[in-house]
Amino acid sequence: IRVGHIKSETLSRATARALSTTTQVNKNVAVLGAAGGIGQPLALLLKCNNSVTNVSCFDVNPVTPGVAADLSHIDTKSRVTGFVGSDSATMEEAVRGADVVLIPAGVPRKPGMTRDDLFNTNATIVAQLTAACAKAAPNAVVGIICNPVNSTVPIATEVYKQLGVDASRIYGVTTLDIVRANEFVSVLGSQDPNDVHVPVIGGHAGVTIIPVLSQVQPAGCIDSLNADEISALTERIQNAGTEVVQAKAGGGSATLSMAYAAARFADSVIRAMNGEEVVECAYIKAENLPGVDVDYFSTPLLLGADGRVKENLGLGELNQFEQDLVSAACKQLAGEIKKGVEFAANYK
């Protein structure tokens, strides 16, 4: 089973033109919010993925046809189409035929803001866009990047429910938390980042982000860290997004590392669709998960060929420090999930 497998492969594929070897099945991917800070580099990475046949770029920003034209001149296999508009017919057109839809639409944080501060603007955007997915691409995997992920995934799930569509292919993309944890651990443990795998469970905001450092691979690579250092590393992973927001000083949040992470998530989903056994952590509806008393939670997931979760691998063995983190995460998640569900109930 491959856990978080691409890393350097993503970028080498972006530069190594069409070393098409074992890829059997081709896939259509749509990016909603494709003109944004994440959307543009994400569409670029997808354009360079040999498993992708079509990249559909949708945004409300009129620059979008230009972004699509620009990408379409890259000599890789996929075709690129641009869609612009704010009406549901255009949104539906953009996702029709998609196997994977990624949603980085929405406003990002500025210094001093929490992800929850984005709720009022982004909740409506996610509801609109996921309604279009439910209607025009009901079997597509939908990866929600738009924050607050802890609430926008419940919104999407409820929108699907209201429209009578199976919501089991909706994923909150938390891959950036894993990418960051892998990178920080590889530096501290003097490892090649390609070999490092840190499961990150919980949600995607502050204390809901739980790096499970006791389960890090290669086992023992950060055994030299004492309890204070483990605690500091945990906090750094939890606050890494804020580190970027502050460094960009009002210019937005993580875009390049997020695009990389979302491209990895999409690639994992496509590999699973093509029959590989792939594990990724993602934030999903997961009722009755042992050790957790909320209905949405991120854990390592064995992805299935049909785009659904084949097996939820659960929390695994946690030490006391990590169990306390889960308790704190669940407390915060409960309110953020409820907020999303309530928003969807009143959304027309």
- Applying CB under 6 A, which of residues 4, 36, 154, 206 lies at the interface with ligand NAI? 36
Q: State yes or no: residue 122 binds ligand NAI (CB under 6 A).
A: yes
Our CB check for ligand NAI shows the closer of 173 and 222 to be 173
| Nearest approach, Cβ of residue 134 and ligand NAI (Å) | 15
Q: Name the burial class of residue 16, with classes exposed (0-12), middle (13-18) and buried (19+) by CB atoms within 10 angstroms of its CB.
A: exposed
Task: Give the separation between CA 179 and CA 195, rounded to whole angstroms.
Answer: 12
Q: State yes or no: residue 118 binds ligand NAI (CB under 6 A).
A: yes
Return the range that interacts with ligand NAI (CB under 6 A); candidates 58-66, 163-171, 225-233, 334-342. 58-66
Task: Give the separation between CA 113 and CA 119, rounded to whole angstroms.
Answer: 11
Our CB check for ligand NAI shows the closer of 48 and 209 to be 209
Our CB check for ligand NAI shows the closer of 116 and 158 to be 116
Task: Give the separation between CA 343 and CA 125, rounded to whole angstroms.
Answer: 12
Q: State yes or no: residue 202 binds ligand NAI (CB under 6 A).
A: no
What values do phi and psi take at 316, rounded to 5?
70, -170
Fill in the amino acid letter for 288: N
Return the range that interacts with ligand NAI (CB under 6 A); candidates 7-15, 65-73, 99-107, 269-277. 99-107
Q: Name the burial class of residue 150, with classes exposed (0-12), middle (13-18) and buried (19+) by CB atoms within 10 angstroms of its CB.
A: buried
Return the range that interacts with ligand NAI (CB under 6 A); candidates 207-215, 217-225, 250-258, 272-280. 250-258
Q: State yes or no: residue 106 binds ligand NAI (CB under 6 A).
A: yes
Q: State yes or no: residue 211 binds ligand NAI (CB under 6 A).
A: no
Structure tokens at 179: 């990418």
- Applying CB under 6 A, which of residues 41, 104, 211, 340 lies at the interface with ligand NAI? 104
Q: State yes or no: residue 150 binds ligand NAI (CB under 6 A).
A: no
What values do phi and psi take at 61, rounded to 5?
-80, 130
Choose the catalytic residue: 5, 73, 197, 204.
Answer: 204
Nearest to 189 by CA among 156, 212, 216, 211: 216
Fill in the amino acid letter for 258: M
Task: Give the separation between CA 40 and CA 181, rounded to whole angstroms.
Answer: 24
Our CB check for ligand NAI shows the closer of 60 and 74 to be 60
Residues 6 or more apart in contact with residue 340 via CB below 8 angstroms: 123, 150, 151, 152, 153, 154, 155, 158
Q: State yes or no: residue 105 binds ligand NAI (CB under 6 A).
A: yes
Tokens 């907020």 locate to: 339
> Is 204 in the active site?
yes
Q: State yes or no: residue 253 binds ligand NAI (CB under 6 A).
A: yes
- Applying CB under 6 A, which of residues 6, 68, 136, 145 lies at the interface with ligand NAI? 145
Footprint on this chain of ligand NAI (rule: CB under 6 A): 32-33, 35-39, 58-61, 104-109, 118, 122, 125, 128-129, 145-147, 149, 173, 176, 204, 252-255, 258
- List residues with catalytic annotation: 204
